[in-house]
Chains A and B, each alone.
Chain A
Amino acid sequence: MKPAAFNYKKPSTLTGVLELLRESGEDSNILAGGQSLMPTLNMRLSAPSLLIDINGVDELFGISVTDNTVRIGSMTRHAELEKSSVISEHIPLINAAMPYIAHPAIRNRGTIGGSLALADPAAELPACLCALRGFVEMTSTSATRKVEAKDFFRALYETDLKANEIITAIEIPRYDQNYFSFIDELSRRHGDYAMCGLAFHAKIEEKIISDAQIVFFAVEAKPIIAVTAMRELEGAKISDVSLEVLQGAVGNDLDPFGDLHASATLKLHYAKELIKRAITSGITSG
């Protein structure tokens, strides 16, 4: 289990990274936290000829707040998101997601950019970003562009990212105090990728739900936005929500595929359990 030989470069500027990318194209890999990339290299599942380490690029790190958005540099580590008071104040959903992501040692190295670029269907952050209607900022030598999360994730481990681009930042709109966040998942052991998970974000005013985003992960090839279920909730009073109808809607929205640890049937069962948990916890804190 040793990687095939590769070249290694560690530029200290974004421009340096992008130049290398332009020159090498498909033949190179970005190295962020390395938590997912290193095992694939060691198992020779991928064998790039060049590894571009972006851990030395200062401009990719850090969290900043503007009037309307919170901007997270792509190299921001999970552990930093977990500790950041800016995140817990402005984007509690992401803060709440952190304990579900692997274990402290992995969160110390793993980055938000890496997580989004990898686009594991069972990962928490892609689903959270969809629920928050955030944007992924991608940069190449020629341009910088922003794509909304729901369009960024395309298929199994497939995103909108092009070979000459890197993710530079994530932008998430700021929501007012009336927004309610909920994330929960079922995994075999604490820290494992989920068998099924739910990221939920909605405005709750006077016990009326609006602007709900219901995003399931670990059910299909990418985060699934449960549009029928969202429609069921729009404008509904929490106490009037029929769980049965809502769970039926979730059944409509999802077409899970089974994996080693959970069959499609189990995933659907769990999705319904999770939406129930979201609504019942919403009642207590809404």
Chain B
Amino acid sequence: MANLKEMMQDHILDRPNSYIGKSVPRPNAKRLLAGRGTFTDDINLPRQSHVAFLRSPYAHAEIVKIDVTSAEASPGVIKIMTGQEMAKICTPWVGVLSHLEGIKSAPQHALAIGKACWQGEPVVAVVAKTRSQAEDAIDLIQVEWNELDVVVDMERALDSDIPVIHDELGDNLTWQRNVDCGDVDAAFKNADHVIEETYISNRHTGVCLETRVIVADYNPGEEQLTVYLSTQCPHMMQNLFAKHLGLEEHKVRIICKDVGGSFGVKVHSYPDEYATAALAYCLKRPVKFTADRLESFTSDIHARDHRINTKIAVSNEGEIQAFEIDDLTGIGPYSVYPRTSGIEVNQVVNLTGGQYKNRNYRAQARVVLQNKSPMCQYRAVGHPVLTLITEGMVDDAARRIGMDPLEIRRKNLIPDDSYPCTAPTGLPFEKLSHHACLEKLAKMLDYDALQKDKREARENGIYRGIGVATFIEVTNPGATFYGIGGAAISAQDGATLRLDAKGNLIVEISVTEQGQGAEAVVAQCAATAMGISLDKVRVITGDTDVTPYGGGTWASRAAAIGGEATVQAGKALKKNIIEVAGIMLQADPATLDIYNNNVVDKSNNTERISLEEVGRICYYRPDTLPKDYQSELVVTRHYVPKQFPFAFTNGVQGCYVEVDTNTGFVKFKKYVVVEDCGTVINPQLVDEQIRGGVIQGLGGALYEECLYNSEGQFLNGTMADYLVPMAVEMPDIEVGHVETPTLESELGAKGAGEAGTGGAPAVIMNAINDALSPLGGKVTRQPFTPERILMAIGKIT
């Protein structure tokens, strides 16, 4: 028993003076607020040049001839490069992974060769002394284009009269996946009710305040390529630049300074970024590329363009008996490299209906090519789509049988005491808390009072609606996400902790800071594990020459995976310090602990020796230590989840809206999220992630849409025309927590970065449809614009 007590004393969640669960401010907030951030565009190197790209003005066109003669004579021009020359420096890539069986894509080049496949694809690179000069020269380049027929509408991408974008692929079908679990046919045949519906998720994009920026420099003396990049995954980019430029990986250094939002946009590799690195390599001088806003709209990844036919079977008593979905998604002309454009729909297939007990599930997914910007993973990958359809279907069923939306969920959600278990598709759930979250939500919403208010309002001709949406969310993936399919993307992350000679702690970690507060959370974990105060901790991220090797930030993994690596490194370093302190104090290390920057007597926390003194002796006076003893004040530990492929999180969102049936405008009256991300390391940061995530989800649901005309021309590439959510229209969001720590790690944290986004579209749709239900209308096509709402209730046709 003494042993267990001892173990618990050392458990991270049980430390005295713990920072876990405290809303400590982020170490970088003050610097950023003071305008002293260093974003990649703030980097300016000696002899720096600038590259701008001539991008295809057409969605699909043959490049007949490029004449750069007058452009080359333009002032300040250093180099003009086309696809053929670029291909000699930078090899093409194909965005496929072996675990997405059968996925195919065509070789993609940094600069288009032969033809351009979307409006905005880079075709010619112009390097000049200034960006303005580069743009001046672009205006002088003569390109002879031969416009080709376009594939715009994904519904028609597989039709026989539609051109095949890449002849070598044979057709425009990139990937198809089918699953069939349980006995779906029997379930539908015997069901009391079968409800069919078609949902449309709109193509939108992650609008980062800081656009994509890269400054690349090649030093021929060291044969070293240094790339300053606004990215989520420095080591992945190190691998890719090395691979495609034919360099040794250790001769490529990626430095990621402050990042102004990434949301998945900066987890991919982009042709213009390869081109910039290749140009720096070829010119042997720094080259900068800063995407402008228009370029961002047409060259950043888009996401979530899906049409899904759905079908649900439900009994008179409200038991869900089967789900069936058919998802068609258009991903642009190439599967994006290296993560592929198949993952989004794969999540939809894997997880639709996954929070429910039902075992009968059939899904078909087809991924098709089209001449639009490439589509790939964006915050909450697939979840906004799959939660929209799952919770849309469940509300459809509830409405049909006249059951309360909370009640049908209570009846069908997997019980909180039946874990571990699996989704119908086989994905394992360690432990989730759907019912606890649902009951907490009902309380926070004051559900019964809202129902009453809604009924009363309706008597006065005011249409209010309550929406509820439960969700599951994939976080903390292990190697099954990408590595298993052949991608050089690390599933594990590492933290190096170093005690300096003044008793401060330097943490170098491979997860990255995107503005979400990863560095704050890592500092909390380090300080807690070590027993030192936060002001003594400094966290360094984003430099492949400095930090351990690791995956970076995506799939809500930085805090949980990076945090656990930090905790384990902290515990190991603490052990080393206590060991050397034991020698200095001639005390048994078992009687010592670290508390408040001092090595203390474990029994009563009295100070024995300060960490500063330990540092001083270890570094400056090692001669006073035994000759056969070497102290080690640097420790590295790595962590990767192994027992489960993912740490699933769960939660539920609820909102109350009023729909103006004359204008179709939707006003929020209440918004509540209850989520379970396991151990909450920093409540304020988690709440901010949830709130920001919700807003981004609502953006896609209500406003954001990449609009194209029938020629594949992007129509709304400015911030005036592409509508992102703004503060005035957005709700106040109350956040509640249920904590079910994962037992896989000592920290017990799961991810929190995407849960808000995943659930938001479903909850707003359900709320609107609840409000419209007395009028017999319903919206199923995002964004839920005033116009679509008025059409749904027949106010306009």
Contact = CB atoms under 8 A, between A and B. Distances in A.
A80 to B, nearest CB: 23
B136 A189 contact: no
Nearest to B730: A189
A266 B796 contact: yes
A262 interface: yes
Given A1-B293, A266-B786, A269-B796, A189 B726 contact: yes
Given A43-B294, A266-B787, A5 B132 contact: yes
A260 B663 contact: no
B707 A260 contact: yes
Contacts of B662: 273
Contacts of B135: 1-2, 4, 44
Contacts of B222: none
B715 interface: yes
B723 interface: yes
Interface in A182-198: 186, 188-193, 195
Query: Interface residues of A toward B: which range?
Result: 20 to 34
A1 B703 contact: no
A260 B797 contact: no
A111 B395 CA distance: 50
Interface in B512-557: none
Contacts of A265: 796-797
A270 interface: yes
A197 to B, nearest CB: 13
Contacts of B588: none
Contacts of A270: 663
Contacts of A266: 786-787, 790, 796
A190 B730 CA distance: 11
Interface string A194-215: 0100000000000000000000
A178 interface: no
A263 interface: yes
Interface string A253-278: 00000001111011001100100000
Contact of A189 (B295, B723, B795, B797): B723
Given A4-B139, A191-B726, A192-B723, A260 B715 contact: yes
Q: Do most interface residues of chain A lie in helix, strand or loop, or is the interface mixed?
A: loop
Contacts of A4: 132, 135-136, 139
Interface string B760-797: 00000000000000000000000001110010000111
Contacts of A189: 703, 723, 725-726, 728-729
Contacts of A39: 718
B136 A193 contact: no
B136 A263 contact: no
Contacts of A186: 663, 665, 786
A195 B139 CA distance: 35
A48 to B, nearest CB: 15
B292 interface: yes
B723 to A, nearest CB: 6
A261 B729 CA distance: 17
Contacts of B718: 39
A44 B139 contact: yes
Contacts of A44: 135, 139
B203 to A, nearest CB: 15
A263 B292 CA distance: 30
Given A260-B715, A269-B790, A2 B131 contact: yes
Nearest to B292: A1
A262 B787 CA distance: 7
A5 B707 contact: no
A186 B139 CA distance: 39
Q: What are the nearest 7 A-B pairs in CB distance?
A: A1-B292, A2-B132, A190-B728, A266-B787, A189-B726, A269-B796, A265-B796
Interface of A: 1-5, 39, 43-44, 186, 188-193, 195, 260-263, 265-266, 269-270, 273
Given A3-B132, A260-B716, A265-B797, 9 more contacts: A1-B294, A4-B135, A4-B139, A5-B132, A43-B294, A188-B785, A189-B723, A265-B796, A269-B795
28 contacts: A1-B294, A2-B130, A2-B132, A2-B135, A3-B132, A4-B135, A4-B139, A5-B136, A44-B139, A188-B703, A188-B785, A189-B726, A189-B729, A190-B726, A192-B720, A193-B720, A261-B785, A262-B787, A263-B787, A265-B796, A265-B797, A266-B786, A266-B796, A269-B790, A269-B795, A269-B796, A270-B663, A273-B662
